[in-house]
Amino acid sequence: MVLALYNLALLVGLILASPLWLWKMATTRKYRVGLLERLGWLPKRLRTLSNTQRREALWVHAVSVGEVLAVSRLIAELERALPDLEIFISTTTRTGQELARDRFGAERVFYCPLDLPWAVNAWLNALRPRLFILAETEFWPNLLTGCFRRGIPVAVVNARISDRSWPRYWKLRRLWSPFLSRLTAVLAQSSVDADRLRAIGCNSASVSVAGNLKFDVRAVQEAEATLMLRAAGSGLRFVVAGSTLEGEESALLEAWPKLLAADPNLVLVLAPRHPERFAAVAALLGRSGLNWTRRSEWTADSPVILPGHIVLLDTIGELASIYSLASVAFVGGSLIPAGGHNPLEPAQFAIPIVMGPSYENFRAIVEELLAHNALCIAEKDSLAATLIELLVDRSTAEAMGARAKQVFSEQSGATARCVEALRAIVTRERQS
Residue positions annotated with a catalytic role: 67
Length of the chain: 432
One-character DSSP codes across 186-211? EEESSHHHHHHHHHTT--GGGEEE--
Count H helices and E strands in the chain, helices first: 18, 14
Cα distance between residue 185 and residue 172, in whole Å: 21
Tell me the β-bridge partners of 270.
241, 312
For CA atoms 41, 42, 47, 50, give the dihedral sign.
negative
CA–CA distance, 266 with 252 (Å, rounded to integer): 13
Q: What do you get for the CA distance between the two ends of the chain, in Å?
A: 30
Is the CB of residue 189 less than 8 Å from the CB of residue 160?
A: yes
Q: Is 432 exposed, middle or buried (0-12, 13-18, 19+ CB in 10 A)?
A: exposed
- Strand, coil or helix: 398: helix
Task: Report the run of H or E that residue 11 belongs to, with start and end.
Answer: helix 2-27
- Strands 154-159 and 129-135 turn out to be parallel
Provide the H-helix boundaries in 200-343.
224-232, 248-262, 278-288, 319-322
CB 231 within 8 A of CB 385: no
SS3 155: strand
